Amino acid sequence: MQGQTDSLSSTFAALADPTRRAILARLSQGDASVQDLAKPFKMTLPAVSKHLKVLEKAKLIRRGRTAQWRPCYLNPEPLKEATDWMEKYRKFWDESFERLDEYLKVLQAESKKAGKQQKDRK
């Protein structure tokens, strides 16, 4: 698969940019035109269009055409795939932290026991 990226890589690459994340956040509230999406940003329409092309290539958005209106739509499936992938690692870290917490409790109990034994010797 030289030169070809998988969908997960495309999704994360698209999400790496704060402007694109802001565009997705706006589209999560409903469909919008390119001009509506460009309003909050201090950039040209062609610059916003480049961001939209990256999002479209990653299949995070779709573009439509209704008469004169060309809306953009959020496509949540790639986000679900990314979330599912990250969930596996969240579980790993949760379990690791739980084991660490248990180990710390053992160390604290041993420390208390050692402190009490020293106190009793005096």
Q: Kindly state the DSSP code that residue 44 receives in the 8-state scheme.
A: -
pLDDT at residue 31, rounded to an integer: 94
Per DSSP, the chain holds a count of helices (H) and strands (E) of 5, 2
Q: For the whole model, what pTM was predicted?
A: 0.72
pLDDT in tens, 52-68: 999 999 999 999 887 77
Q: Which residues of 38-69 are buried (b: 16+ CB within 10 A; e: fewer)?
A: beeeeeeeeebeebbebbbebebbeeeeeeee
Question: Average pLDDT of 72-76?
Answer: 95
pLDDT at residue 2, rounded to an integer: 39
pLDDT at residue 4, rounded to an integer: 40
CA distances from 19 to 42, 49, 98, 99, 103 (A): 11, 12, 36, 38, 43
pLDDT at residue 5, rounded to an integer: 53
pLDDT in tens, 31-59: 999 999 999 999 999 999 999 999 999 99
Beta-carbon contacts of 112 under 8 Å, excluding residues fewer than 6 positions away, are: none
